[in-house]
Chain A
Amino acid sequence: MLPRVADSLSFLYLDMVRVVQDDTGVCAQIQTPDHRTDLVYIPTAALSCLLLGPGVSITTPALTTLARHGTSVVCVGAGGVRAYAAVLPDSLTTNWLEQQVATWADPARRLDVAIRMYGMRFQDDKLPQTVTLDQLRGMEGQRMKALYKILAQQHGIGRFRRNYHPDQWHAQDPVNLALSAANTCLYGIVHAALLALGVSPALGFVHAGTQHAFVYDIADLYKAEITLPLAFALHQSTNPEQEARRRFREDLRLLRLLPRIVQDVLALLTPARTDAPGADADTESRSERRDVEMVHLWDPKAGVLPAGVNYASGGD
């Protein structure tokens, strides 16, 4: 599971095409102006995320093939500006989802994860032991302001203000456009990684109240390092959105982002090793056992019990 998610191609963006399953595979049909239909075959099994832009229609057999290969399909706005909906791949272990829900539902453990996330963003371990979430949010805001200022100075831009106005999309400056495009790509990749792990994109630790709360949590870990410098570097681009996607893909290769996302998510969801040293090994062996057996019965005392067994006592 793990290496497969990390090894695959990151994403493919399509718009204004019809995606169908034919005798040989999944292909995008492109209508040419002279009423011919060109075909582009999609490497479904090698792809981790397919972004469908406006004007795409897709058939059920094509979606089925994509789901069977564990490719997450995300419906997005023009140029991948917004993510609207996603199709979840089938046949996943629920081990990490259960881990996430258990952590999320326990206020102490949830706070611990939130603090670890802020710690990862600061990239330093100088956080005081008794810091509150409130203080951390303030520190994070200061950091972002300082970073905007430094980047604007580096690229000779007078003043930068982060704007996000989907209704006046083309009136924005190139940096804002590139940043939105790159962030949406980042959300897509993070979303795909989360779905591939089988965790819920909706249960965030810092963000809340949206189906993408956990996506925003995880994406925030990488923005300062990846999408912000990229967007500022494109302040003179004539096509900042496409350029951002192209550069972002280059960066993905360089930074090997998918394996890192998977690693980081698993590290965040794994409880800190303060309790019994055998706890981790137990989780590990349980997850392996689950992969084989797929379905179990829950018991508050005995833990996980095999399914498909008749537990009736007595009688015949």
Chain B
Amino acid sequence: MPSMLVIATTAVPDHLRGALSRWTSEVVPGIFVGTVSARVRDQLWQAVTETVGNGAAVLVHPAPTEQGYAIRTAGTRRRVPIDFDGLTLIRMTATPQVKSEQSPP
């Protein structure tokens, strides 16, 4: 049973974008939307995780959770999905406070 997926990518190699666009539409730069089977979804995501390099990517797809969807991430970003006893929310990691560590002017 195919279901919809959304993959958002940042700074990934061009050949990965090519691979993704074979299965999905790039509706705005870096955002891929498509309807594929769970098997194709897993293989696409494996391709993403292997080639993500210094970039980052996130996959959102329907899942039988209370929220109705699941999130998978690759690479590092400031936004990290965290699990609250089964509910997935996004934790925004703060940037290091460089200013406070500097001496006052």
A residues whose Cβ falls under 8 Å from a Cβ of B: 9-10, 12-14, 30, 32, 35-43, 242, 245-246, 249-250, 252-253
CB distance from A254 to the nearest CB of B (A): 9
CB-based nearest B residue for A43: B89
A87 to B93, CA, bound (A): 30
The answer, among A12, A30, A36, A41, for a CB contact under 8 Å with B90, is A41
CA distance A14 to B66 in the complex (A): 18
| Interface, chain B (partner A; CB < 8 A) | 64-67, 82, 84-87, 89-97
Contact (Cβ within 8 A) B94 A36: yes
Which residue on A lies nearest to B96, using beta carbons?
A36
CB distance from B79 to the nearest CB of A (A): 10
Which A residues lie within 8 Å of B85 (CB)?
13, 242, 245-246, 249
Q: Which chain A residue shows the least CB distance to B100? A: A35
Q: Are the CB atoms of A249 and B90 closer together than 8 Å?
A: no
Given A9-B66, A249-B86, A253-B66, A38-B91 contact (CB < 8 Å): yes
A241 CB → nearest B CB, Å? 10
Q: How far is the CA of A10 from the CA of B92 in the complex (A)?
A: 23
Q: Which of chain A's residues have a CB closer than 8 A to the CB of B82? A: 40
Residues from chain B with a CB closer than 8 A to the CB of A40 are 82, 89-92
| Residue on B nearest A241 in the bound complex, by CB | B85
8 A-B pairs with CB atoms under 8 Å apart are A30-B91, A32-B94, A35-B97, A38-B92, A40-B89, A249-B66, A249-B86, A253-B65
Complex Cα distance, B86 from A13, in Å, reads 10
CA distance A245 to B86 in the complex (A): 8
CB proximity of A289 to chain B, nearest CB, Å: 35
A37 touches B94 (CB 8 A): yes
Chain A residues with CB under 8 A of B93 = 36, 38
Contacts of A249 in B (CB 8 A): 66, 85-87
CB of B94 within 8 A of CB of A39, answer: yes
Distance A100 CA – B93 CA, assembled complex (angstroms): 47
Whether B91 lies near A10 (C-beta < 8 A) is no
Contact indicator B91/A42 (Cβ below 8 Å): no
- Tell me whether A36 and B91 are in contact (CB under 8 A): no
Closest Cβ of chain B to A35, distance in Å, is 7
Cα A10 to Cα B84 in complex, Å, equals 12
Q: Which residue of B lies closest to A27 (CB)?
A: B92
In the complex, what distance in Å separates the CA atom of A250 from the CA atom of B67? Answer: 11
Q: A246-B85, A253-B65 are in contact. Are A39 and B97 (CB under 8 A)?
A: no
User: CA of A250 to CA of B86 in the docked complex: distance in angstroms?
Assistant: 8
- In the bound complex, CA of A242 to CA of B91 (Å): 20
Which B residues lie within 8 Å of A10 (CB)? 66
Contact of B91 among A12, A39, A245 (CB under 8 A): A39
Select from chain A the residue with minimum beta-carbon distance to B78: A38
Find out whether the CB atom of B66 lies under 8 angstroms from the CB atom of A252.
yes
Task: Pick the residue among B86, B89, B95, B97 that contacts A41 (CB under 8 A).
Answer: B89
